[in-house]
């Protein structure tokens, strides 16, 4: 369920390592621009207030920039940032708490800071976006989008990148947690991907362990109907072949073009020859109603038992140039479709719910400021489902040949 991959007999795993932090009370200096959502509710709102108070208590001159939902676009944000910085000394740092308001708006902020020529490092705060400690749970997988974007920003905009800090997702952050946050912003930890908890500071690390240390994985066979979204695409088609070779009974291959997709007729023939029943469906899986209709048509004698979500739209670009439409088009199928698939199948007895993610989400990749956040969401979503006792696997593919 955690981000991991296998190369040459090694298993690579992302872990959160506790790191000793300074015992002295950390201090900040200079002006900090705190970019906050308008009226965040509940514990998120308490956390925003507590973070702002703590920054000021620890020496920062805090200038708060409140972002209303209808003014979160690139141009509106640029104007707001210019107003906030006009005639004032250059800020020492920027702290975005926008994710705590529910709408990440992180792309627009990152772009607007460049447009407004704010050169200070940007730190982004989330709540409950990572599982760092034993009692942690991902409370909102949507916040993982910020983590996916941050890893790309750290490569594309390294000169003005600060880092990512996750706060506990359950309650409002306590004093110890807030103190640790200030320590991270002050540079005490010299880390850019951290989780701060009352119990300690955790840093993100890639570690490896021999595969021989891991018990063999159970065997899995497709039964009834297996839905493959993007089933007429490159990887979807490949997976469909593998499923058919492994005795799949009914393959439901969904894509917007369905039977009209290039190569669909040949793929159907090939899969049928392998013994599978094949349905090519034209369905936009990011459209909840259309997806519900598709699932309602699954034959009763071959019930849905597995979902493989391989659908994607690729429209790469560096963050600086990505349009809101380019981001939305990619995230619609990565985020919305995944949520719909989850909600519409959660009462079924699925044996597999597989998401096609990417190496770029784990490490960041220049030019993937829309794709990597979507894939980071998938990784977090798999953990989120697992914590609910539901099957989930997120595969972090490298580039296919």
Ligand X SMILES: NC(=O)c1ccc[n+]([C@@H]2O[C@H](COP(=O)([O-])OP(=O)(O)OC[C@H]3O[C@@H](n4cnc5c(N)ncnc54)[C@H](OP(=O)(O)O)[C@@H]3O)[C@@H](O)[C@H]2O)c1
Binding site residues, ligand X, CB under 6 A: 229-230, 232-236, 254-257, 261, 284-286, 310-314, 333, 356, 358, 397, 399-400
The side-by-side arrangement of strands in the sheet containing 31-37 is 4-7, 10-19, 200-210, 193-197, 161-167, 122-127, 93-96, 31-37, 61-67
Q: How far is the CB of 370 from ligand X (least distance, A)?
A: 11
Q: Is the Cβ of residue 44 or residue 341 nearer to ligand X in the bound state? A: 341
Question: With respect to ligand X, which residue has the nearer C-beta, 54 or 358?
Answer: 358
Looking at the Cβ atoms of 98 and 341, the one nearer to ligand X is 341
Q: How far is CA 94 from CA 97, 373, 385, in A?
A: 10, 21, 33
- Min CB(270)–ligand X separation in Å: 16
Q: What is the DSSP letter of 346?
A: T
Q: How far is the CB of 250 from ligand X (least distance, A)?
A: 18
Per-residue CA distances from 116 to 124, 162, 258 (Å): 18, 17, 45
Closer CB to ligand X, 100 or 267, in the complex: 267
Q: Are 64 and 93 in contact (CB under 8 A)?
A: no
Output 51 or 252, the one with its CB closest to ligand X: 252
Q: Phi first, then psi: what are they for 169, rounded to 5°?
A: -90, -15
Of 355, 365, 370, 260, the closest CA to residue 313 belongs to 370
User: Rounded to the nearest whole angstrom, what is the least distance from the CB of residue 284 to ligand X in the complex?
Assistant: 4
State the nearest-atom distance from the C-beta of 225 to ligand X, in Å.
17
Show the CA angle centred on residue 121, arms to residues 117 and 123, nearest 5°. Answer: 125
Cβ nearer to ligand X, comparing 167 with 360: 360
Residue 98 CB, nearest approach to ligand X (Å): 25
CB-CB contact of 167 with 47 (8 Å): yes
342's enclosing H/E stretch is: helix 337-345
Closest approach, Cβ 334 to ligand X, in A, equals 7
Residue 94 in tokens: 């920027």
DSSP secondary structure letter of residue 238: H
Q: Which is nearer to ligand X, 31 or 362 (CB)?
A: 362
Task: For residue 183, give every residue at least 6 positions away whose Cβ sits within 8 Å of its Cβ, in sequence order, or none.
Answer: 21, 22, 26, 189, 201
């Amino acid at each position: 369920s955690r981000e991991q991959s296998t190369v040459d007999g090694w298993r690579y795993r992302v872990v959160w390592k506790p790191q000793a932090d300074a015992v002295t009370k950390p201090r900040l200096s200079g002006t900090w621009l705190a970019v906050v959502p308008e009226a965040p509710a509940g514990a998120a709102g308490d956390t925003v207030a507590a973070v702002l108070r703590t920054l000021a208590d620890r020496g920062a001159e805090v200038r708060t920039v409140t972002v209303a939902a209808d003014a979160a676009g690139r141009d509106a944000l640029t104007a707001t940032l210019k107003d906030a910085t006009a005639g004032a000394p250059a800020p020492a740092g920027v702290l975005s708490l926008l994710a705590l308001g529910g709408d990440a708006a992180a792309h627009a902020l990152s772009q607007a800071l460049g447009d407004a020529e704010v050169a200070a490092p940007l730190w982004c705060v989330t709540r409950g976006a990572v599982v760092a400690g034993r009692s942690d749970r991902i409370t909102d997988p949507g916040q993982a989008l910020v983590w996916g974007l941050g890893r790309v920003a750290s490569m594309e905009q390294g000169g003005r990148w600060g880092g990512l800090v996750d706060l506990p997702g359950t309650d409002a952050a306590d004093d110890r947690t807030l103190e640790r946050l200030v320590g991270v912003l002050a540079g005490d930890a010299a880390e850019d991907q951290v989780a701060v908890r009352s119990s300690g500071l955790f840093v993100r690390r890639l570690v490896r362990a021999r595969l021989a240390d891991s018990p063999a994985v159970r065997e899995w066979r497709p039964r009834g109907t297996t839905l493959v979204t993007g089933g007429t695409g490159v990887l979807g088609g490949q997976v469909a072949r593998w499923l058919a070779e492994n005795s799949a009974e009914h393959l439901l291959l969904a894509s917007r073009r369905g039977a009209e997709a290039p190569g669909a007729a040949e793929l159907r023939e090939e899969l049928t020859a392998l013994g599978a029943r094949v349905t090519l469906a034209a369905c936009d899986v990011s459209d909840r109603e259309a997806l519900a209709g598709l699932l309602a048509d699954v034959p009763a004698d071959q019930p849905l038992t597995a979902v493989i979500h391989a659908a994607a739209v690729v429209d790469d670009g560096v963050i600086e140039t990505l349009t809101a439409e380019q981001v939305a088009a990619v995230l619609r199928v990565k985020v919305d479709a995944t949520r719909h698939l989850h909600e519409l199948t959660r009462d079924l007895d699925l044996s597999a719910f597989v998401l096609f993610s990417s190496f770029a989400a784990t490490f960041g990749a220049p030019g993937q400021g829309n794709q990597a956040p979507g894939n980071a969401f998938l990784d977090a979503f798999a953990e989120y489902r697992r914590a609910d006792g539901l099957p989930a696997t997120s595969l972090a593919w490298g580039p296919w040949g």
